[in-house]
Amino acid sequence: MPLRKGASRKTFEHNLEKLKAEGKPIKQALAISYKVKREAQKKKYGVK
């Protein structure tokens, strides 16, 4: 289940679709996708 790392909308949507295709519930797929996006933003901008 390697997801794309990134904060763009396109990456977020790709991860969301991939998780939904794997059979994850919608709320869980959203939470995972937002977490990946948030971590990428922190890394990019250096926010702790």
Q: Which two tokens stand for residue 25?
A: 């519930």
Query: What does DSSP assign to residue 22?
Result: T
| Tens-level pLDDT at each residue, the chain (48 residues) | 699 999 999 999 999 999 999 999 999 999 999 999 999 999 888 876
The pLDDT of residue 17 is 97
Name the residue ranges covered by the structural domains of the chain. Answer: 9-45
- For the entire predicted model, the pTM comes to 0.86
Q: Where are the beta strands (DSSP E) in 1-48?
A: none
Within 8 A by CB and 6+ apart from 12, the residues are 6, 33, 34, 36, 37
pLDDT at res. 48: 63
Distance CA 45, CA 2 (A): 23
